[in-house]
Amino acid sequence: MTTSPHELDAADPLASFRDRFVIDDDLVAYLDGNSLGRLPRATLERLAVFVREEWGGRLIRGWADSWVDLPVTVGDELGAALLGAAAGQTVVADSTSVCIYKLLHAASGLRPGRDEIVIDATNFPTDRYLVDSVAAARGMTVRWLEPDLVENVTIEVLAAALGDRTAVVVLSHVDYRSGTLLDLPGLTAAVHAAGAVVIWDLCHSAGAVPIELDAAEVDFAVGCTYKYVNGGPGAPAYVYVARRHLAEAHQPITGWWSAADLFAMSDTYESSPTIRRMLSGTPPVAGLLAVQEGVRLIAEAGVEAVRTKSEALTAYAIELVDEIGLEIVTPRDPALRGSHVTVRHPDARAVADRLVERGVVPDFREPDLIRLGLSPLTTSFAEVSAAARILAEVVAPIG
Amino acid sequence: MTTSPHELDAADPLASFRDRFVIDDDLVAYLDGNSLGRLPRATLERLAVFVREEWGGRLIRGWADSWVDLPVTVGDELGAALLGAAAGQTVVADSTSVCIYKLLHAASGLRPGRDEIVIDATNFPTDRYLVDSVAAARGMTVRWLEPDLVENVTIEVLAAALGDRTAVVVLSHVDYRSGTLLDLPGLTAAVHAAGAVVIWDLCHSAGAVPIELDAAEVDFAVGCTYKYVNGGPGAPAYVYVARRHLAEAHQPITGWWSAADLFAMSDTYESSPTIRRMLSGTPPVAGLLAVQEGVRLIAEAGVEAVRTKSEALTAYAIELVDEIGLEIVTPRDPALRGSHVTVRHPDARAVADRLVERGVVPDFREPDLIRLGLSPLTTSFAEVSAAARILAEVVAPIG
């Protein structure tokens, strides 16, 4: 017999954060905050003020007022609150894909005598596609790790692939399908021991899992802001470049926003000596402000408290799915998982469709996976309980 | 004696469009709509509904509802209304800088035996910087045109630089400093006669000047949406790829949004056969919707009517600046200019600062230029008259 979800919610120190979000949809349970987070009330207000008063009222003067520094100021806030990154190493800019592309070039340039980029076959498609593209453009080779989906990239799996040809390793902190949480400090140390540099994709971890990039001596990192950071659909991504690499980190999309003097419009290009060198063109101001509000909510809750609730939510979901008797591919050790729980079912698409019909929104992933995303600031235990009850009803006739 | 501005406004068939924008700032005259356009009332409403009801209420379901197609549907609307582009050739995505980068690679790949990219030294910095970057990465050479700022790139200037090494030519339709409007059809034909392809930067023309990309057989084009399209600060840019080049147009930022099947998340990358291949990562939905509203206002007014008013506004501004006795660097033939008028003054920065103090917002450009941006849907003749009166007072003591 499981604990009552209402008791769990009553005992949850972060329960009141749910009221900081707009929740007036028609859903029984929203378990897709790991794809698109909910709308913070502060963001609703901030965007209204921005559009009406800043764009509408200040017009071009808004750039000088504050917008021009937002990529760095929001980057610094995000780095401090979510990434364990000291100021001056994080900037918010462009989509995740564009950011990964820039980092792949910057990282590869640090190891000119080496010609291999290592990535795992379980990594998110955009990471894999971009590694292929950049490797081809630079005359490098891609070395594929083929880990088990659930165990994912262990130090043993990685070590077998590293060598004196390894220039760059690209890893995702939490696997987008299984939810497996990799050993970021351990794997980073293994990459460094081989003389290579690492790019960590934090899309499925940042905002739900504590991260200490500076302490782990990570080289580069990237992540999106529309999942646990609740920045909204298509909100801009961020890049982290360790200070020790900044002077030698060259990315090829050298637009005017990456230049040493943005408004000098000089004849020759000189890249900014700061993290601004990772920018390219004019950044999306509305998106930056939404990211800032999302970051501030997590900072207020505290990443450690967020993690504690995430572990409780995933444990509770695993317990309820076990009662239904479905296969779970997410690690049962809380230290080895992020904030989503993935169920395997041969008719996963049909199950997901029926859940949506019943007001439970999960996430289907080809070919047979259903992700239950548990977003610590917005998901209640009552929601998980209601979703599990409906899941049991939905799978019963499907078998 | 000039005509009364009130008579000109009374006779302006587009005068009522000014009421379609939020205008409640503290300004006497906003002459910087060529840097950041005003806020359309429709956009204010559309963004409020989007944030509250679509993101807040539909959550992840918004992607399937409509968002996933926005880059193409807004691109098609923009192409039809502003660019003379049939459907399937325009997509809204990323910043202008990122879009130029992609097009430079795509265009260079079409002429593998040729190794020169031609660009003029008067072009906007981001275009020049990116040409340098892409040329270096591809082992190509940059051939610089050095035209007179005002006369700018004529067919004679360009023809002297073209040859059998020319792969790509990059030109800006309207010069960002002088306001000179280039002969897009004639220059495009000259590029083609030399066996090369052209990329047109439409940032300072689209939305104010009629453009017929298909009729002129343009190869590639790019432009931003926060100037005359009034999409807001950092709104996403667009790329145009002529249908005949689509199958061979390869850009290197091969993120998941450029793949043939976005959600298949397959092991190997296959680029979309459609214009979606120019996308990379998740697009900014709020920005896309703002672009759509801006495009619809111009479509409703009609680009020809917009151009007629633009010519009248610039002629009126030139007349008033002549009365003050300041040097004008913008061509006096309306067929040779876009929608801003540029004044040269040795103390341009001080003049611009004093104008802003007096409630007139122009645009200063190093070292000695002041741009008066005249945005046809929002600038009134009364605004131009008031600005000129204050300009006369401001420059009198400066001399």
B209 shares its domain with B320: no
Residue B158 lies in a domain: yes
Confirm whether B58 is domain-assigned. yes
Q: Give mean pLDDT, residues B80-102.
A: 98
**Whether B347 and B287 share a structural domain:** no
Distance of CA B147 to CAs A113, A147, B119, B154, B258, Å?
Answer: 42, 58, 10, 8, 37
CATH classification of the domain holding B166 = 3.40.640.10
* Distance in angstroms (rounded) separating the CA atoms of residues B354 and B395: 9
Mean per-residue pLDDT for A164-173? 98
Measured between CA atoms, the residue of chain A closest to residue B265 is: A125
**Is A228 known to be catalytic?**
no
Domain presence at residue B41: no
Q: Is residue A268 part of a domain?
A: yes
**CB-based contact B12:B381 (threshold 8 Å):** yes
Please indicate, yes or no, whether residues B327 and B348 belong to a single structural domain of this protein.
yes
At B23-34, the pLDDT tens digits run 987 899 999 999
> Both ends of chain A: CA-CA distance in Å?
23
Residues B251 and B349 reside in one and the same domain: no
Residue with tokens 């006779």: B11
User: How far, CA to CA in Å, does A383 sit from each of A38, A72, A231, B248, B385?
Assistant: 14, 37, 22, 49, 62
Burial (Cβ within 10 Å: 0-12, 13-18, ≥19) of residue B160: exposed
**Phi, psi torsion values for A268, nearest 5 degrees:** -120, 150
Structural domain harbouring B87 = 47-299
Q: B389 in helix, strand or coil? A: helix
| Cα–Cα distance, A95 to B283 (Å, whole number) | 7
Q: In this prediction, does ipTM exceed 0.95?
A: yes
In which band, very low, low, confident or very high, does the pLDDT at B2 lie, cut at 50, 70 and 90? low
Q: A97: which residues sit within 8 A by CB, 6+ positions away?
A: A126, A130, B253, B255, B256, B257, B280, B281, B282
Which neighbouring-strand residues pair with B361? B30
A284 and B284 in contact by Cβ < 8 A?
A: yes
Interface touch A257/B97, C-beta < 8 Å: yes
User: Does one domain contain both B199 and B108?
Assistant: yes
A201 labelled catalytic: yes
List the single residue in A with minimal CA-CA distance to B35: A60
* Tokens found for residue B303: 């680009």
Chain A residues whose beta carbon lies within 8 Å of the beta carbon of residue B124:
256, 265
B367 preceded by cis ω (within 30°)?
Answer: yes
Strand pairing partners for B373? B340
Q: How far is it, in rounded angstroms, from Cα B339 to Cα B182?
A: 13
Average pLDDT estimate for B75-102: 98
A295 shares a domain with A306 = no
What tens digit of pLDDT does each residue of A241-274 get?
999 999 999 999 999 999 999 888 778 899 999 9
Q: Using the 8-state DSSP alphabet, how is residue A171 labeled?
A: E
Q: Three-state SS across B38-98?
A: CCEHHHHHHHHHHHHHHHHHHCCHHHHHCHHHHHHHHHHHHHHHHHCCCCCCEEECCCHHH
Catalytic residue (choose from A9, A41, A115, A124) = A124
Q: Which residues of B touch A62 (CB under 8 A)?
A: 36, 233
Of A299, A334, A367, the residue that ends a domain is: A299
Q: State the alpha helices, DSSP H only, in chain B.
A: 5-11, 41-49, 61-65, 70-78, 96-108, 125-138, 155-159, 184-193, 285-301, 303-324, 348-357, 381-398
Question: Both A77 and A221 in a single domain?
Answer: yes
Residues whose CB is less than 8 angstroms from the CB of residue A274 and which lie 6 or more positions away in sequence, other chains included: A72, A88, A246
Domain shared by A132 and A231, yes or no: yes
Residue A36 placed within a domain? no
How many C-alpha atoms does A179 have within 13 Å on its Cβ side? 32
Q: Give A184's contacts (C-beta < 8 A, 6+ positions apart).
A: A173, A200, A211, A216, A218
Same domain, B295 and B322: no
Rounded to the nearest 5°, which phi and psi values hold at B2?
-80, 160
Q: Report the 10 Å Cβ neighbour count for B382.
A: 15
Judge if B292 and B359 occupy the same domain: no
Test the B interface: residue of A126, A203, A270, A340 with most B CBs within 10 Å:
A126
**pLDDT at site A397:** 76
| Torsion on CA atoms A278, A283, A288, A291, rounded to nearest 10 | -50
In a domain, B110, yes or no: yes
Q: Decide if A65 is inside a domain.
A: yes
Question: Where is A297: in which H helix or E strand?
Answer: helix A285-301
pLDDT above 60: residue A1: no
Q: A30, A101, A220, A226: which is the annotated catalytic residue?
A: A226
User: Which residues in chain B are closer than 8 Å to A264, comparing Cβ atoms?
Assistant: 366
In angstroms, the CA A183 to CA B2 distance is: 75
Q: Which of B246, B280, B299 is the last residue of a domain?
A: B299
Residue range B260-304, pLDDT digits in tens: 988 887 788 999 999 999 999 999 999 999 999 999 999 999 999
pLDDT at A399 over 70: no
> Kind of pairing, strands B166-172 and B116-120?
parallel
Q: Is A73 in the same domain as A164?
A: yes
User: Which of B218, B213, B212 is CA-nearest to residue B199?
Assistant: B218
**Domain-terminating residue out of B243, B266, B299:** B299
Where does the pLDDT of residue B1 fall: very low under 50, low under 70, confident under 90, or very high at 90 and above? Answer: low
As annotated, the binding site of A for pyridoxal 5'-phosphate includes: 96-97, 124-127, 201, 204, 226, 256, 282
How would residue A150 be classed by pLDDT, with cut points 50, 70 and 90? very high
Contact A280 B25 (CB under 8 A): no
Same domain, B348 and B276: no
Strand partners of residue A281? none
Active site residue B371: yes
DSSP state of B302: -
What residues of A are designated binding site? 96-97, 124-127, 201, 204, 226, 256, 282
Interface test with B, best of A27, A43, A98, A120 (most B CBs within 10 A): A98
The verdict on whether B177 is a catalytic residue reads no
Task: Give chain B's mean pLDDT.
Answer: 96
- The number of distinct structural domains making up chain B is 2
Residue A326: phi and psi, rounded to 5, are: -90, 155
Tell me the C-alpha to C-alpha distance, in Å, between residue B91 and each of A9, A206, B155, B295.
46, 30, 29, 13
Residue A35 lies in a domain: no
Report the CATH number at residue B363: 3.90.1150.10
